Structure 1
Amino acid sequence: MSAISERRERERAHRHQLIVTAARELAETEGWEAVTTRRLAERVEYSQPVLYSHFSGRNDIVRAVAMDGFIELAAQLRRARQAAPAPESRAGQALRAVCGAYLEFATERPALYQAMFVLPTDLKFASAETPPPLRACFDEFVDCFRPDDDRRELVAEVTWSALHGMAVLSGSGRIPPDAQGERLDFLITRFAGAPLGAPGGPAAP
């Protein structure tokens, strides 16, 4: 690649990230209903045709914001898990740290969380087409359970689903946010400890 081509690629990448950052900032201050191609074009001081040369439309921009979010979430979950004792040493400590980090992320970045999990996108979960940042988030939950547990991916999925419900219902005021710690304690008690599926283990109904 020539020096001119490399410079153009850098400029294009810069414009791309500038648009994504502007969309995220606008959503955080005014909500996603305020994020339109016209508003973004004005905010980044590019024409709408330039914006459309990077994104096919609003949904494509939401997808790009969501991808940024999954990269950030994976890093936050990883830091939390690595700072906790390994699952083999103290059952539940890593899981509680990861779950707590997840709920903290959802609370502190509501607009970003909406882009990742609520607004329509073509991002696929639990699929061969799942982007690596999404899989990295899921793997942080999986790694909280013992490697010899053949149901750990299933329980990781159920744990994530429960956390999402807690985050959305609490964020919308459907359930009291001040009881989130108690809910989290209950969730960890159910899923951490004895090997999953063992007689009398916490995964039993």
Structure 2
Amino acid sequence: MAIDDRRARDREARRRLIVATARALAENEGWDAVTTRRLSTEIEYSQPVLYKHFAGMEQIADAVAVEGFGELTEAMRAAQSGSGSADDALSRIAHAYLDFARDNPAMYDAMFTRATGLRFATDDTPPQLEDSFAAMRQAVDAVAGDRDADTLTEVFWAALHGLVTLGRAGRLRDDYDDDRIRLLVSEFATRR
């Protein structure tokens, strides 16, 4: 059993190395720089070793995305803890979301803009995606009143994603994030 345990640990360590290297390359050089050939060179394993862990680049990017959802969830939960009112919690979640997207652009792309096999609200949804939605839903639920909290959460998430996407493309005025978030939270919180 000890040999099998060691092999499993080694396999998981290689998998983590592949994901971390893909993420680092994407953050530093963009997703176009992340290829199986480049990854195998960077981690000093052959391409067949990569294929023992992942079927291809799409699955590697999905693994980066799943990791990102875990980190986004942590950021939203941290932002929500210690918040005062329900409006404050929603505002903190929104700021944490925008900060996460700004600080992790390649990961955010893996999570939301690259083609992916990851799906929300299905039987095979990874728990990290479900946890991320639940963290945001918790804040939205506090202001939902008699409205459907799931749908309201989807709309709130879509609004934040829109702000990220338009901001990254230079289509929004700089330095107005606070005003936009204040308005967004006000619209969600006042219609109870």
TM category, shorter: over 0.9
Alpha-carbon distance between aligned partners in 2 of 1:28 and 1:152, rounded to the nearest angstrom: 34
Structure 1 residue 56 and structure 2 residue 55: aligned?
yes
Alpha-carbon distance between aligned partners in 1 of 2:8 and 2:147, rounded to the nearest angstrom: 45
Aligned mate of 1:117, from 112, 116, 120:
112
Structure 1 residue 106 and structure 2 residue 90: aligned?
no
Aligned mate of 1:128, from 123, 128, 137:
123
1:171, 1:177 within 8 Å by CA — same for their partners in 2? no
Alpha-carbon distance between aligned partners in 1 of 2:158 and 2:174, rounded to the nearest angstrom: 17
Identical pairs, percent = 45
Determine the structure 1 residue equivalent to 2:176.
Answer: 179
Secondary structure of the structure 2 residue equivalent to 1:120: coil
Which residues in structure 2 correspond to 1:24-173 (within 5 Å)? Answer: 24-85=23-84, 90-144=85-139, 145-146=141-142, 149-173=146-170
Alpha-carbon distance between aligned partners in 2 of 1:180 and 1:64, rounded to the nearest angstrom: 30
Gaps of 5+ in 1: 196-205
Give, as a single letter, the amino acid of the residue that structure 2 aligns with 1:155.
L
Alpha-carbon distance between aligned partners in 1 of 2:26 and 2:14, rounded to the nearest angstrom: 18
Give, as a single letter, the amino acid of the residue that structure 2 aligns with 1:36.
T
Quote how far apart the aligned CAs of 1:174 are: 2.0
Alpha-carbon distance between aligned partners in 1 of 2:145 and 2:124, rounded to the nearest angstrom: 26
Quote how far apart the aligned CAs of 1:132 are: 1.1
Secondary structure of the structure 2 residue equivalent to 1:178: coil
Alpha-carbon distance between aligned partners in 2 of 1:176 and 1:63, rounded to the nearest angstrom: 32
Secondary structure of the structure 1 residue equivalent to 2:81: helix
Gaps of 5+ in 2: none
Give 1 or 2: higher helix fraction.
Answer: 2
Alpha-carbon distance between aligned partners in 2 of 1:129 and 1:40, rounded to the nearest angstrom: 28
Alpha-carbon distance between aligned partners in 1 of 2:82 and 2:109, rounded to the nearest angstrom: 27
Normalising by the residue count of structure 1, what TM-score does the alignment of the two structures yield?
A: 0.88
User: For the pair shown, which has the larger CA radius of gyration, 1 or 2?
Assistant: 1
Give, as a single letter, the amino acid of the residue that structure 2 aligns with 1:96.
S
1:92, 1:193 within 8 Å by CA — same for their partners in 2? no
Give, as a single letter, the amino acid of the residue that structure 2 aligns with 1:128.
D
Secondary structure of the structure 1 residue equivalent to 2:176: helix
Structure 1 residue 17 and structure 2 residue 12: aligned?
no
Secondary structure of the structure 2 residue equivalent to 1:66: helix
